[in-house]
Amino acid sequence: MAENKKKKRRKGTMASATERMLVGQNINIEEEEELVTPMQQVVRNFVENKVAMTGMFCFLVILLCCIILPFFFPIDRYYQDVTQANVAPGFGLMTPPKALQGNAMDISAGSTYSVGLDRNGNVYEWGTFPNAKLKKLPPASEMGKLVQISAGLDHVLALNEEGTVFTWGNDRMGLESIPMDLRMGDKVTKIYAGYQVSFALTDRGRLYNWGNEYLVDVRIPKEVQGNIADFEANTNIVMVRTTDGRLVPLTQKASAYTQIPEEIQGHVVDFALSDESVAAITDDGQLHVWGNNVKGTMNVPEELEGTPVRVEGGRYHFVALMEDGSLRAWGDSTFQQNHAPSISEKVVDLSAGYYGSYAIGESGKVYSWGLKGYLMGTDAFGRDVFRRLLKGGRMTLTVGAIAVVISTIIGVIVGGVSGYKGGRIDNLMMRFTEIVSSIPFLPFAIILSAIVGNRVTETQRIMMIMVILGLLSWPGIARLVRGSVLAEREQEFVTAAKSLGVKELGIIFRHIIPNVLTVIVVNATLDFATCMLTESSLSFIGFGVAEPNATWGNMLNSAKDSKVIEDFWWRWVFPSISLAICTISINCVGDGLQDAIDPKSKER
């Protein structure tokens, strides 16, 4: 016992102070002894342990982030957007170069990059480029003075003063072959680069399209061709406005946005397409919206005072320019697309594309809002890594915690009963424990998950992983509890409880287990880290929690490919770091607890 106390004091400054006092005055130590309960001593030891406290801090930060932040940065499990695939971390998507500020003429927002023209016809490109060829512009001498520019998914169209069209970027799927008609004679007035398709409208009202013909179904009726005044396109359809103000969808497939309200036909002055809906302004200054109300694209703000004169659409948002020069935006707010700035000067040009919008003021100043970038980039499906990291962390921590709870409960029951009862029951239970611990853990978990996991839903699958982990990892804790119970059961308080007639289960779980609680807590903490690691390993090789649910393990799944490791570092670095920091800090805490309690000194 004396050695026991001495050992506790060995740690930290407080302890050494006590020891100094021991040499000096005797009265002081006795006061100290009376004041400090074993529990307080444990807490003090733990707090003095810098490594453990740092671990505790890191873990709490991660835990709080994973619990709280997903409410502020939500992500739909099934959300996917290939146009945003593999974007590097950064917030420069909507920041035009300085040279363009105050001198801008035309700007177009592409998938993850934007292009702009200044008043001298020079081209500027910024953002993350999905394709290296986007940087290979045709020589300026060849293009002359450019007047219009349009950015698509991964290619750019530009138009010069003479009405000639140029294209660069993705040159496959026919994108590079500008129709012959456009190269001779016809003067182009409007260009649009879409999702692997390009469009050009000529001054004679004819619309031309080229590029990937499988994505957008374009059928131009004979009576429309030659009478086209304006056109807009999204990823699914192209719609044109004829010279007499009628809207005509250039498709034969009927959908929600082809149901054009009859009363506006012949009166349309401007219109815009989002992915699922259409907004049109009629000659009486009314705004009409129809289509599918996805992400609030049809929730036009009620206080739309004044009359709109121009409307533009991104993937899930619209922005309208009012007569008084102010801007109104509505629709999806995930990337603040609907937060149009209030601009003091007159807006001369407006453009919206994908998740961003630009407005150019009279002075040539560029105003931008919308998707500025991703903190940690995006994965192959265009999902924000940061948002998935938060969700994944929550999942990983939950699975680990529940697995530990399961294994601890089983372990305490088996260990407690077997340690207290002893004899034949002990022997039987320990043999059983040995059998379970002889089962090779990872291969067995893989097989169980592969076999059971095929016929269950996603939620059931997650629960199954928890149960598998819990059921396979209890032997360690059972052995430990058994050992501690064996040491405790001969103590006087147990004899007292027995003589009072307390039932056996009562003695085990009410009287003995609380005394070995510290051992259980330490072991559960260390097991928590192990369970998290195992879950991550399982998910990593594809036998754990499956897509579309995120965990840190399955976020790393795609990094099995060395191409991903090399080119898209953000896809594996961030989940790896989170996982590593989390498990390291949990282990530090567990270790610190173990040191603080020091069960070894108790055994001796």
Residue 443 binding another protein, by CB under 8 A? yes
Nearer to another protein, 402 or 446 (CB): 446
Residue list 535-574, contact with another protein (CB under 8 A): 536-537, 540-541, 543, 556, 559-560, 562, 565-566, 569, 572
37 versus 562: smaller Cβ distance to another protein: 562
What lies within 8 Å, CB to CB, of 268 at 6+ separation is 241, 245, 246, 247, 280, 281, 282, 283
Q: Is 434 in the site for another protein (CB under 8 A)?
A: yes
448 makes contact with another protein (CB under 8 A):
yes
> Binding to another protein by residue 451, rule CB under 8 A?
yes
**389 near another protein, judged by CB under 8 A:** no
φ, ψ of residue 325 to 5 degrees: the values are 90, 0
Nearest to 272, CA basis, from 306, 235, 231: 231
**Which tokens sit at 251?**
């498709």
Among the listed residues 444, 491, 496, 517, the single contact to another protein using CB under 8 A: 444
From residue 584 to residue 603, what is the string marking binding to another protein with x (rule CB under 8 A)? x-xxx--x--------x---
The 51-90 contact track toward another protein, x by CB under 8 A, reads x---------------------------------------
Give dist(CA 441, CA 180) in Å, integer.
67
Burial 314-347 (b: 16+ CB within 10 A, else e): bbbbbbbbbeebbbbbbbbebbbbbebeebeeeb
CA separation (Å) from 314 to 292, 463, 566? 15, 40, 32
Binding test (CB under 8 A) with another protein, winner from 43, 60, 435, 505: 435
Nearer to another protein, 340 or 448 (CB): 448
* Site for another protein contains 49 (CB under 8 A): no
Contact residue for another protein among 39, 61, 256, 439 (CB under 8 A): 439
Q: Which residues contact 284 (CB under 8 A, 6 or more apart)?
A: 267
Q: Binders of another protein among 523-542, rule CB under 8 A?
A: 529, 533, 536-537, 540-541
CB of 471 to another protein, least distance (A): 12
HSE (CB half, 13 Å, CA atoms) of 511?
Answer: 21
Question: Smallest distance, Å, CB 529 to another protein?
Answer: 6
> Which two three-digit tokens encode residue 348?
């001369």
Cα(262)–Cα(16) distance, integer angstroms: 89
Pick the closer one to another protein by CB: 69 or 565.
565
Binding to another protein by CB under 8 A, coded x per residue (else -) over 229-258, reads: ------------------------------
Cα 282 to chain centroid distance, Å, stands at 40
CA distance 233 to 210: 13
Q: Work out whether the CA dihedral 26, 30, 36, 38 comes out positive or negative.
A: positive
420 touches another protein (CB under 8 A): no
Which positions touch another protein (CB under 8 A)? 51, 431, 434-435, 438-444, 446-448, 450-451, 454-455, 529, 533, 536-537, 540-541, 543, 556, 559-560, 562, 565-566, 569, 572, 576, 579-580, 583-584, 586-588, 591, 600
